[in-house]
Amino acid sequence: MKTCSKCGETKDRDQFYPRPKAKDGLRSDCKLCSAEVARKWQEANPDRHRNNAAKWKAANPEQGDITLRIGADTAIRQDENGEQSLVRWPVSS
Ligand SMILES: [Zn+2]
């Protein structure tokens, strides 16, 4: 179990996205809070999101659609089973 830094709720570890650099290997905010951050980013940057999502899909046609972006180089994708996972975002220079 782990407590979310944003909503303060204690949840199972599978309710947190992985973050390789973190001490416990997980993000400090839960999946719901991560998604909220991503949604706000997309709302604030609709054009950038569209461009990046299209670019990512073109480069990774087998990996499904990006659903949410949650950081400079991280996004959530959802596969055909509805399973969500974290992907590295191709940072364009
Ligand atoms: Zn939370």
Q: Which residue has the higher pLDDT, 8 or 52?
A: 8
To the nearest whole percent, how much of the chain has pLDDT over 70?
75
Q: What is the whole-number distance in angstroms between the Cα of residue 30 and the centre of ligand 1?
A: 4
Q: What is the whole-number distance in angstroms between the Cα of residue 39 and the centre of ligand 1?
A: 14
Q: What is the whole-number distance in angstroms between the Cα of residue 36 and the centre of ligand 1?
A: 9
Domain ranges of the chain: 2-88
Residue 6: the pLDDT is: 94
Question: In this structure, are residues 29 and 6 in contact, taking their beta carbons and an 8 Å threshold?
Answer: yes
Rounded to whole angstroms, how far apart are CA atoms 76 and 62? 15
Q: What is the whole-number distance in angstroms between the Cα of residue 28 and the centre of ligand 1?
A: 8
Return the bridge partners of 2, or none.
11
Residue 79: the pLDDT is: 66
Rounded to whole angstroms, how far apart are CA atoms 45 and 51? 10
Q: Which residues 6+ apart lie within 8 Å of 23 measured at CB?
A: none
Dump pLDDT digits (tens) for 58-92: 877 776 666 666 666 777 776 667 677 777 766 55
Rounded to whole angstroms, how far apart are CA atoms 18 and 37? 16
Q: What is the whole-number distance in angstroms between the Cα of residue 35 and the centre of ligand 1?
A: 9
